[in-house]
Copies of this chain bind each other. A is one copy, B any other.
Amino acid sequence: MIDTPSLVDHYCHGVLRTELGLGTFERHLAPGSAPPATGTTFFDTQTGFAVRRWCPPLLGLEAHCPPARYLARRRELGVLETGRRLLRASGIAAYLVDTGPSGDLTGPAELGATGDAAAHEIVRLELLARQVADTSGTVDGFLANLAEAVHGAAACAVAFTSVAGVRGGLAAVPEPPGPGEVRGAAGRWLARRAAGGAVDDPVLLRHLLWVAVGTGRPLQLHVGDRDPGALAGFAAATSGLGTDLVLLHAYPHHRHAARLAADFPHVHADLGPVVARTGARAAAVLAEFLELAPFGKLLFSSRARGLPELHVVAASVFRGALARVLGEWVADGAWSRTDARRVAGLLAEGNARRVYGLGAAA
């Protein structure tokens, strides 16, 4: 009833290029680095069950077949053909790819080609700063190069993303640090870091976010399990500057993220948590996002990384959840069918196209 013909995935990563055994595949089902507890498996999660529901049929197997049988079929087809079959079945028309620490993941161009879709780059600010630090000799040189690198990236990237910004002191002090404060922090950080060392100085992280805000490109902030209420100060400080903020991956505080999207015109909320890990519960979580957030402020993402299974599962789960939630409201008479179809299109791709300036669907 409520169709979502095409999707824009506004935050994801590339996929692995190597053949995978059962253990390696399992490890990629969970986002962290810890192994499963003794006596348990990551297949016994909503993500694991969702992969077993949606992916085997795309490779000619029965849904819910045992993981070992699925992995055998995957190797039989080869990693390239598997990726092609899965991604092309996802209905994703455009990928926005975080090219941060990529390991051996495919980049935007290769992901787009495999999936027969458009692809755009998201630049991770912390990585850019690290690269600039590795090649700069002085504090002044570093700060000048950093500004140049961020503005240069803004010319070709579709957005910036920051993983460490929220936990790195943004909550405590939302305003941009002064020039002297930034020079001091940069000097101390450059002096103590080894080559390749990550940006962990709160002043420098804030400086980095404010330089990015200055470019006008949308800025994605990884919220994770932090209370997004702590971001209200930064949202207020950046209000009216013309740069959009997108709160990424907020869970379990997604209702709070949705509320901020209602309170600030330039704040948007990512629907990734709906689909990335909640499987059979996706409709319920999606419905919670739809309580306070204006319908023009919510954006689909897969948050997939490494396995094309995660892209296709995200798309399938999201499409099913959207059809169920909006379909029920239409059946109840709470929403008109016309409105429901329009809102489905906004969440699936319209809002992302507007916020990231992607132009209309082909």
User: CA–CA, A53 to B329, complex, Å?
Assistant: 11
A335 and B251 within 8 A (CB): no
Binds B, one of A100-108, A130-138, A260-268: A260-268
Q: Does B255 contact A37, Cβ atoms closer than 8 Å?
A: no
* A87 within 8 A of partner (CB): no
A323 to B307 Cα, complex, angstroms: 32
Interface contact B291-A32, CB-CB below 8 Å:
no
Partner of A294, one of B37, B252, B346: B37
* A37 CB contacts on chain B under 8 angstroms: 265-266, 294, 296-297
A39–B265 CB distance below 8 A: no
- A313: min CB distance to chain B, Å: 11
CB-nearest residue of chain B relative to A281?
Answer: B291
A18 at interface by CB-CB < 8 Å: no
Taking CB atoms and an 8 Å cut-off, the chain A residues in 283-329 that contact chain B are: 284-285, 287-288, 290-292, 294-297, 329
Which residue of B35, B255, B297, B346 is within 8 Å of A252 (Cβ)? B255
A49's partner among B36, B227, B264, B339 (CB-CB below 8 A) is B339
Q: How far does the Cβ of A45 sit from chain B's closest Cβ, in whole Å?
A: 5
Copies of this chain, complex-wide, total 3
Chain B residues near A296 (CB, 8 Å)?
Answer: 36-37, 39-41, 44
A334 CB–B CB distance under 8 Å: yes
Q: Once bound together, how far apart are the Cα atoms of A288 and B338, in whole Å?
A: 30
B280 engages A45 (CB within 8 Å): no
- Asked if A8 is at the interface (CB within 8 A of a chain B CB), the reply is no
Do the beta carbons of A277 and B265 come within 8 Å of each other?
no
Picked from B38, B256, B265, the residue with its CB within 8 Å of the CB of A225 is B256
CB distance from A234 to the nearest CB of B (A): 15
Are A45 and B334 neighbours in the complex by a CB distance under 8 Å?
Answer: no
Minimum distance in angstroms from A196 CB to a CB of chain B: 23
- Does A40 contact B287, Cβ atoms closer than 8 Å? no
Contact of A36 among B34, B227, B294 (CB under 8 A): B294
Chain B proximity of A335: nearest CB distance (Å):
6
Q: Is the CB of B44 within 8 A of A295?
A: yes
Does chain B have a CB within 8 A of A356? no
- Complex-state Cα separation, A279 to B262, whole angstroms: 15
CB pair B292 A278 closer than 8 Å: yes
* Listed A/B pairs (19) with beta-carbon separation below 8 Å: A30-B262, A32-B262, A35-B265, A37-B296, A39-B296, A44-B294, A44-B343, A45-B292, A46-B292, A49-B339, A53-B335, A63-B333, A64-B339, A225-B256, A225-B259, A252-B253, A252-B259, A277-B292, A280-B329
